[in-house]
Amino acid sequence: MTQGLVDINSWTFIAQILNLFIQIYLIKRFLFKPIQEVLKKRQELSDEQLDSARRANAQAEALRMEYEGSMAQARTEAARIISSARTTAREKSDAIIADANAKAAAAKAKAEADIQQERKKAVNELKNEIGGIAVDLAGRVIEREISEDDHRKLIDEFIESVGEAS
């Protein structure tokens, strides 16, 4: 009976080989193909997500560059506006100072002209008053010893000498 354990039956061997091929075919058809399809879909999904991430990264980089460009342009524009404002303020300041200096000079010239006019007016009033006093004084001193024309002549000479002295 020891021979029965090691004995190879050819029909059993053929059936087992056919069974093995059928199992390999079934496993390949119903197990490996779906697994390969799932793996292929996962690979495609992974590739798609990777491409999407690359596109998003490129888009973000483009937006960052655009933002940096906008910021640089904004800084340049702000610097130009500040420079323009400073220039305008300086020009207005210079114009206000020049206007104030012109008004001050005009006021000074008017004041000097008023002073000269008042001085001349005061001198003329003083001459007239002195002339009146001189006439009264001369009239009292001389008491009509000199004629009216002589009085006028003396007064005019006196006024001229006072005018030359001032």
pLDDT band per the 50, 70, 90 thresholds, residue 98: very high
Confidence at residue 142, expressed as pLDDT on a 0 to 100 scale? 63
Share of the chain above pLDDT 70, in %: 84
**pTM above threshold 0.85:** no
pLDDT band, very low/low/confident/very high, at 87 (cuts 50, 70, 90): very high
pLDDT digits (tens, 9 = 90+) for 129-155: 777 777 766 665 665 566 777 777 877
**Confidence band (pLDDT; 50, 70, 90) for 81?**
very high
Helices 148-165, 33-142: crossing angle, 10 deg rounding:
140
What is the tens place of the pLDDT at every residue in 115-132?
A: 999 888 888 887 777 777
- Alpha-carbon span 130 to 137, nearest angstrom: 10
pLDDT in tens, 25-70: 998 888 888 888 999 999 999 999 999 999 999 999 999 999 999 9
Please give the pLDDT value at position 1: 42
Look over the chain and give the mean of its residue pLDDT values, rounded to a whole number.
Answer: 85
d(CA 17, CA 34): 25
Provide the residue ranges of all domains of the chain, joining segments of one domain with +.
9-165
Average pLDDT over residues 154-165: 72
DSSP states along 78-121: HHHHHHHHHHHHHHHHHHHHHHHHHHHHHHHHHHHHHHHHHHHH
CA distance 19 to 17: 5
Amino acid at 75: R
Burial 67-103 (b: 16+ CB within 10 A, else e): eeeeeeeeeeeeeeeeeeeeeeeeeeeeeeeeeeeee
Give residues with Cβ within 8 angstroms of 162, minimum separation 6. 126, 127, 130
